[in-house]
Amino acid sequence: MKPTRVTNAIRTLRFAHGEMTQAELAERIGVTRQTIIAIEQGRYSPSLEMAFRIARVFAVPLDDAFGYEDGLE
């Protein structure tokens, strides 16, 4: 299974929002802290629904929270 091409700015967004902790973000979207860590480190690509929930927490469009790298092989 190839590593995900989905990138994210969750770490940056957390710090921009009062240094929100991973545990706090996890609590707000209803997942475990380990899942937030896995998403931040690119070890798990969230479902579209979870991605929207994360973007909503930071009140940003989906594109500001997540990206997709073209040409990565």
Partner 1 sequence: MTFQEKGVWVYGVLTAVVSAVYFVFLAGQIRTTAVSEIGYQIPMVAAIVVSIVLFIVASIAITIASPADADKADQRDKDIDRHGELIGYYVVAAGCLPVVILAMVRADQFWIANAMYLTGVAGALVSSAVKAIDYRRGFWR
Q: Which residues bind partner 1 (CB under 8 A)?
A: 1-4, 30-32, 34-35, 38, 41-47, 50
Nearer to partner 1 (CB atom), residue 9 or residue 38 = 38
In angstroms, give the least distance from the CB of 59 to partner 1: 22
For residue 70, give Cα distances in angstroms to 1, 4, 6, 9, 67: 17, 11, 10, 17, 10
Closest separation in Å from C-beta 37 to partner 1: 10
Cα–Cα dist 49/21, whole Å: 21
CB of 47 to partner 1, least distance (A): 6
CA dist., res. 49 & res. 14, Å (int)? 19
